[in-house]
Structure 1
Amino acid sequence: MRMVFRWFGEGNDTVSLDHIRQIPGVEGIVWALHDLPVGEEWPMERIEQIRDQASAYGLHIDVVESVNVHEDIKLGLPSRDRYIDNYIRTIEKLGKVGVKVICYNFMPVFDWARTDLHKLGPDGSTALFFEKSKIHGIDPLELVRTINQNSALTMPGWEPERLAHLTSLFDAYRNVSEEDLWDNLEYFLSKVIPAAEKNGIRMAIHPDDPPWPIFGLPRVITSQDNIRRFLSLYDSPANSVTLCSGSLGANPSNDIVAMIHEFHDRIPFTHIRNVKVFENGDFIETSHRTQDGTVDIEGVVQAYHENGYTGYTRPDHGRHIWGEECRPGYGLYDRALGIMYLWGLWDAYKRSAAAPSQLKEAVQ
């Protein structure tokens, strides 16, 4: 397991590279050029700038999250080839600086959805919260306004410029079915996976968050069956999954441990976090500790250990604790605590696995 930490860049993150390098076991950052419009080819000088910034603190840039997919690609419009060409050229540039994994998603319009960015918990911390009944009655435009008003930093997937195009995007998706989205995803893979293979990069799709349709928009990366179908669209190690225990775990019927055992060789990057799911379908993001949520984080880490996992891991979202003012879900303190919890589990499983051989050596 190789621990990494998401960083949004200088001036766009309350967490510094100096903070990140002090977290035990963290070897690299998970990054992107968040200020560039979706679909634009990434400039080499900007990529090298991030590499140099990270390198100055002894951190690598092996994992990118995300090179976002333009809506024209998801919609299957004739213009998609132009954006796919830009995507391929970006893949080629990232390969030149040693990037190994590109995380991306194929969610229409919204990368993720929550109804409250600072839901107060019983211990005084706040966290991202999803109120299922509210999402059915809220105007998507109003939700975007709320998201942006409650964060001084850019929220990937909820950029203010989306407001200008939201109505037209919903109109464009009106006749796009789930099967259409599968077809458009397969077309995208047929173009970019060969480029990824040539450049030593694994494309790792992120599950839908939450893992069910919202606002009438189709979603496809939602379950074990659907991940299996996705991986069969292009049978290559370069076509892989970013397994996010929090996104998939919002649906209690998803067995994350079983997914790891089945797909471990196609998971080059994993997000490990916990959520507490309530009986009415609402969920709140909790600490990483197993007992605090619904996801079996102990079982998740054990499954990775049992399968000899050597991919990249990040703690993903955290609560807002100890008065920290930060990007919602992306403060320093709770994510650092999460990392230490994950390392504690990993080290315990490692020692447990070694115990029989150590006992045998002691007897001899």
Structure 2
Amino acid sequence: MNMTFRWYGRGNDTVTLEQVKQIPGVKGIVWALHEKAAGEVWKKEEIVREVEYIESMGFHAEVVESVNVHESIKLGNEESKMYIENYKESIRNLGEFGVKVICYNFMPIFDWTRTDMHHPLPDGSTALFFEKVKIERLDPRELVREVSEASNLTLPGWEPEKLARIGELFEAYKEINEEKLWNHLEEFLQEILPVAEASGIQMAIHPDDPPWSIFGLPRIITGPESYERLRKISDSPSNGITMCTGSMGANPENDMTAIAKKYAGMAPFSHIRNVKIFENGDFAETSHYTEDGSIDIRGVVKALYQQDYTGYVRPDHGRHIWGEKCRPGYGLYDRALGIMYLHGLWDAYKAMEDERNA
């Protein structure tokens, strides 16, 4: 596995690349032009500036997360073609500077949803939390206010220019059901996949987070059946997935070990994290350690090891520990611990295999 670390850029992250260099085994930085609004073209001069800085610190810059998909594309409205053309140009520009994977999602309005950014855990740390009843009772505009006030840094997928139009967007999505959203995803992929192939880039769609409908909005990347339908859209080698154990695994019906065994070949990029799922439908982010949550992280890593997985991997949301002040879910300390746990599992499976072959 090719270990990476997500980073939000100079001036937009509490973590520095000098600090990331001290985490053993990290080869690459997962990056993005976070100041760009969804739908804008990523220009070559902007891309090269980030890539050269990341590479100057000894990392590769082969994974971008995310080139956000404009809501017009998801809605399939009259502006969608313009934004698809912009997306194609961004793909071409990124390919020119060595990017190999673009992570993206197709979630309406909210790229991810939590109700508490700093939920207290029994060990004294805090973490992201999803309270099902609160979501069912809450006006989404109130959620926007609460989440935005919980961080003094920009939150990916919660772009101010989009959230300022939240009422308008909810009205537009009244006409969009899951089938229509699938149709718009297919139209998008049929347009961009040839460009991605020609640019040497794999597109890796991220599962919906959480993997079920909220606020009446359609969700379509929710389980293994979604991956089967995605494959039917196109057999292009650029039509891939981001396997996220915490997002898809928040639904206990999704067996992430089985999904890793079956779909790792579709996944050039994997997010590995743990969540604790409660009987009432709530879930809390936890450490990566298998026993702390409901996801069989050991089983997932074993499935990847047995397939000699060479894709890009990153630890995902970490707890806020040891008094760290950071972007919710994206501090240094707990993600560094997560990396070492994932490395430890991988090394243990390798040692067991070596013993059997001795």
Verify the 8 A CA contact 1:39 1:86 in the aligned structure 2.
yes
Tell me which residue corresponds to 2:329: 329
Alignment of 1:295-310 (within 5 A): 295-310=295-310
Correspondence for 2:74: 74
1:48 maps to 2:44: no
* TM-score of the superposed pair, with normalisation by structure 2: 0.99
Two-structure CA RMSD over aligned residues (Å): 0.7
CA distance in 1 between counterparts of 2:161 and 2:267 reads 33
How far did 1:237 drift? Answer: 1.5
Instruction: Measure the CA separation in 2 of the matches of 1:160 and 1:103.
Output: 21
Give the CA deviation at 1:158: 1.4
Residue 143 (structure 1) shift: 0.6
Instruction: Please tell me whether residue 320 in structure 1 is matched to residue 297 in structure 2.
Output: no
Runs of 4+ in 1 over 3 A off after TM superposition: none
Q: CA deviation at 1:226?
A: 1.3
Name the counterpart of 1:12. 12
Distance 1:152 1:36 in 2: 18
Counterparts of 1:237 and 1:350 in 2: how far apart (Å)? 28
CA distance in 1, matches of 2:32, 2:350: 33
Q: Report how far residue 110 of structure 1 moved.
A: 0.4
- 1:221 aligns with 221
Matched, 1:169 2:200: no
Query: Does the 8 A contact of 2:37 with 2:161 survive in 1?
Result: no
Residue type matched to 1:86 in 2?
A: N
Partner of 1:362: none
Q: What does residue range 144-223 of structure 1 map to in structure 2 within 5 Å?
A: 144-223=144-223
The amino acid of 2:121's aligned partner reads G
The count of aligned residue pairs is 358
- Which residue matches 1:279? 279
Structure 1 residues 216-266: Cα deviation after superposition (integer angstroms, max 9, x where no partner): 000000001111111221112210000000001110110111111111211
Q: Is the Cα–Cα contact under 8 Å of residues 105 and 205 in structure 2 kept in the other structure?
A: yes
Deviations 1:57-111 (A, max 9, x none): 1011100000000000000112111101110011001101100000000000000
Corresponding position of 1:349: 349
**Contact 1:231/1:239 (8 A) holds in 2:** yes
The answer to whether the Cα contact below 8 Å between 2:37 and 2:159 also exists between their aligned partners in 1 is no
Match of 1:265 in 2: 265
Query: Where do 5+ consecutive residues of structure 2 fail to align?
Result: none
Q: CA deviation at 1:164?
A: 1.9
Identity among equivalent pairs (%): 60
Opposite residue 174 of structure 2, the aligned amino acid is: R
The 1-side partners of 2:200 and 2:187 are apart by: 21
Decide whether the 8 Å contact of 1:147 with 1:158 is kept in 2.
no
Q: What SS does the corresponding residue of 1:155 show, helix, strand or coil? A: coil
Give distance in 2, aligned partners of 1:299 and 1:225: 21
Q: Does 1:62 align with 2:45?
A: no
Aligned to 2:120: 120
Aligned partners of 1:166, 1:313: CA distance in 2, in Å?
Answer: 33
1:345 partner amino acid: L
How far the C-alpha of 1:162 sits from its partner, in A, is 2.7
**SS of the residue 1:270 aligns to:** strand
1:175, distance to aligned residue in structure 2 (A)? 1.2
Tell me which amino acid in the other structure corresponds to 2:163.
L
Gaps of 5+ in 1: 359-364
Does residue 130 in structure 1 map to residue 113 in structure 2? no
For 2:250, give the aligned amino acid.
A
State the secondary structure of the residue aligned to 2:148: helix
Please name the residue that 1:361 is paired with.
none
3-state DSSP of counterpart to 1:133: helix
